[in-house]
Amino acid sequence: MLVAAAVCPCPPLLVPAVAQGAAPELDAARAACTDALGVLAAARPDRLLVVGPAERSGRGPHPQGAPGSFRGFGVDLDVRLGPATGSAPERPLPPSLAVAAWLLERTGWSAAPVEGLGVGESLAADRCVAAGRDIAARPERVAMLVMGDGSACRSLKAPGYLDERAEPFDTEAARALGAADVAALTALDAELAYELKVSGRAPWQVLAGAAEGADLSGALLYDEAPYGVGYLVAAWS
């Protein structure tokens, strides 16, 4: 049963050591993420499931204590997904879950055991929703930390260059996340999301599947597009 959810962006730049001199530019986003994680802790879940985009799905869950690293971004910084258990396998976290692990360490997460799940960015909407329904079918009280960015085409200097379809897509995604609108999230166009380099589409649709039938209300905590990329933070409770 899903009892709460937090939606956060997953750029490595969220980690100050990676952003370096540009770190203050995302201070507001970090603060919003901290507030969203506070909503998860307040729900007192039995388990926290962290979901984020990955190159592909189906490689199994990442257990608590799974390792992540930002060495690929030129920073000597390692993280763990929740408190180390002493027996975690060494299969590394995808970058999105490494950012989540950093957020959890930063806020001192200890409210519940943690598990990670990487979702292929190309996974079809129906399969994302089905994965979410499986999460909701668990007998335990589950909270979700859902990582993912909006479009990467909001400006001329954006990674995907300027695309006039990007801002309307992000506006609708922000509205749906802020309103906990499960139907609208399920209806997000996967092909358009791919063209706009939206990494959050699949994780958001997993959340939509998990939230079907749950009586949750949403709040949008952050909606900006620094660097031409849509970053959204929301909390459901």
Is the backbone of residue 47 left (phi > 0), alpha (psi -120 to 50) or beta?
beta
Mean pLDDT within 5-12: 98
Mean pLDDT within 151-171: 97
pLDDT for 173: 98
Q: Break the chain into its structural domains and give their ranges.
A: 2-236
Amino acid at 191: E
Fold of 2-236: Protocatechuate 4,5-dioxygenase; Chain B (3.40.830)
Q: What is the mean pLDDT of the chain?
A: 94
Q: Any bridge partners for residue 235, and if so which? A: 6, 219
pLDDT for 67: 93
Is the backbone of residue 74 left (phi > 0), alpha (psi -120 to 50) or beta?
left
**pTM recorded for the entire structure:** 0.96
Asked whether the beta carbons of 81 and 97 are under 8 A apart, the reply is yes
**Residue with more model confidence, 100 or 83:** 100
CA angle 193, 70, 104 (to 5 degrees): 80
pLDDT for 89: 60
For residue 15, pLDDT over 60 is answered with yes
Render pLDDT for 190-206 as a digit per residue (tens, 0 to 9).
Answer: 999 999 999 999 999 99
Phi, psi of 69 (to 5 degrees): -150, 150
pLDDT range class, residue 53, cuts 50, 70, 90: very high
For residue 60, pLDDT over 90 is answered with no
Asked whether the beta carbons of 10 and 53 are under 8 A apart, the reply is yes
Mean pLDDT within 126-142: 96
pLDDT for 91: 82
* DSSP secondary structure code for residue 26 in this structure: G
